[in-house]
């Protein structure tokens, strides 16, 4: 039985299968948030007189019991129920009688699922924030630990100038700061309450939307009832941009690790149990974890485009197309969290090689150092550049690394500014605070 069924009507099995799709699978993720939304809604109904206070209290108690069962893993959507909203209402009515049929007053499934998704996304954004912060702290820690170990830096994949493990890892830490800013922007959009907008045009009931906003810990409302519905899909798309930004950082870092682990680079290594072997080549230590992080994160970067194509020509109001946002975004969120955790595992076991730059093949890394040394002696930059360039062309360029490198400006090899980067991350992460 469907909540919206009238007498003597039945949806064909094929139509039902097509329209429901994978919704029940993703509805299980929404179940605790659906109940929390209902608890807030029923509380408000009791306070405004739209339900008898005693009835509302009884319904809230029943909903809390269902929530406990969900959190214990003892909830399922039964064969006859269309979705999580139907299952919860049927279960409540079965337990407390006719009162359970009153909880939908002033609500549509449209605003019900919209608030469920926003509550779910808020919880996921907090989990992503936690995992990003853990990776960030690991990157900063490893950057500090290995800050004196020099490696070659590249432009166009050609040997360019000296870098360091500390500078390299610190770069990805700061990249995560900007990613956190993107996540914070998505959080600000998610943290608005659509409940009470009904099917997209409000209600003739005197609902107190500010009250449900406070009960559900939203910072504010989607004020306009039509826009509250239009925010569905848009919210998911903006969050997808944030997770795509994080994924881009992870993908690029994974690619670096694949390169630097390669024997022709040989800058880093990992314990054997974190790499994989070959079926015929006994010497192989393959970076399968990094390759899969790269692949998964590249795929995550396609999610904003997929959502854009889904939403691009929708007019205002609710449309069933929006159902598909769940099967696009929800798995991508899980993949991203998995990749963040695996990157943490791998980098916690990072091993680095010292004295790399003593190798003859890296001698041209220091041409800029040599040019700058001449400039500091009073020679013009252009003349110094020409002098060192001629030495390179003639094959007699040398550079004495024993004296060390003198990089002191902010963000350079000798002044990583990791403390300042940490402050920027703290500022960005603070924007994702619960009200």
Q: Quote the percentage of the chain above a pLDDT of 70.
A: 94
Lowest mean pLDDT among 25-29, 168-172, 189-193: 25-29
- CA dihedral for 18, 21, 24, 29, sign (positive or negative): negative
Determine the pLDDT at residue 9: 56
CA distances, 271 to each of 43, 235, 260, 275 (Å): 55, 41, 15, 7
**What average pLDDT is seen over the chain?**
92
CA 334 to chain centre: 9
**Is it the case that residue 159 has pLDDT exceeding 60?**
yes
| pTM for this prediction | 0.93
The more confidently predicted of residues 299 and 5 is 299
| CA atoms of 230 and 200, how far apart (whole Å) | 8
Could you give all domains of the chain from N- to C-terminal order, each with its CATH number?
13-105 (1.10.275.10), 110-358+409-430 (1.20.200.10), 360-403 (no CATH)
Residue with tokens 């329209």: 19
Q: What is the pLDDT of residues 363-386, one digit of tens each?
A: 999 999 999 999 999 999 999 999
pLDDT tens for residues 38-84? 999 999 999 999 999 999 999 999 999 999 999 999 999 888 788 89
Rg (CA), the chain: 29
Q: Is the dihedral of CA 267, 273, 277, 282 positive or negative?
A: positive
């Amino acid at each position: 039985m469907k909540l919206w069924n009238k007498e003597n009507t039945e949806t064909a099995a094929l139509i039902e299968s097509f329209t429901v799709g994978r919704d029940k699978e993703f509805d299980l993720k929404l179940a605790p948030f659906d109940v929390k939304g209902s608890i807030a809604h029923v509380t408000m109904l009791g306070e405004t007189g739209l339900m008898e206070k005693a009835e509302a209290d009884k319904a809230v108690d029943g909903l809390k019991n269902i929530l406990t069962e969900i959190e214990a893993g003892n909830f399922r959507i039964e064969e006859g129920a269309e979705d999580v909203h139907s299952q919860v209402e049927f279960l409540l009515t079965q337990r407390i009688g006719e009162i359970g049929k009153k909880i939908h007053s002033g609500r549509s499934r449209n605003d019900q699922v919209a608030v469920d998704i926003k509550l779910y996304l808020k919880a996921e954004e907090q989990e992503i924030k936690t995992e990003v912060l853990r990776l960030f702290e690991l990157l900063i820690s490893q950057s500090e630990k290995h800050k004196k170990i020099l490696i070659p830096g590249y432009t166009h994949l050609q040997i360019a100038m000296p870098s360091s493990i500390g500078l390299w890892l610190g770069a990805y830490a700061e990249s995560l700061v900007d990613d956190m800013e993107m996540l914070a922007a998505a959080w600000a959009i998610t943290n608005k309450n659509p409940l009470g907008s009904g099917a997209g045009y409000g209600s003739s009931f005197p609902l107190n939307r500010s009250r449900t906003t406070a009960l559900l810990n939203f910072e504010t409302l989607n004020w306009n009832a039509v826009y509250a519905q239009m925010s569905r899909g848009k919210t998911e798309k903006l969050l997808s941009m944030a997770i795509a930004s994080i994924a881009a950082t992870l993908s690029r870092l994974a690619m670096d690790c694949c390169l630097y682990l390669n024997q022709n680079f040989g800058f880093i290594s990992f314990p054997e149990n974190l790499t994989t072997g070959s079926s015929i080549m006994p010497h192989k230590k393959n970076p399968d974890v990094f390759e899969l992080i790269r692949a998964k994160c590249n795929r995550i970067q396609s999610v904003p485009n997929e959502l854009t194509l889904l939403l691009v020509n929708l007019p205002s109001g609710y449309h069933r197309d929006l159902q598909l946002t769940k099967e696009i975004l929800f798995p991508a969120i899980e993949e991203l969290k998995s990749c963040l955790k695996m990157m943490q595992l791998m980098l916690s076991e990072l091993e680095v090689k010292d004295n790399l730059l003593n190798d003859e093949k890296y001698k041209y890394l220091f041409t800029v150092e040599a040019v700058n040394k001449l400039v500091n002696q009073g020679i013009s930059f252009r003349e110094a550049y020409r002098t060192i360039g001629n030495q390179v062309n003639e094959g007699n360029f040398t550079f004495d690394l024993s004296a060390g490198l003198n990089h002191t400006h902010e963000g350079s090899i000798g002044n990583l500014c990791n403390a300042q980067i940490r402050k920027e991350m703290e500022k960005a992460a603070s924007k994702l605070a619960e009200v």
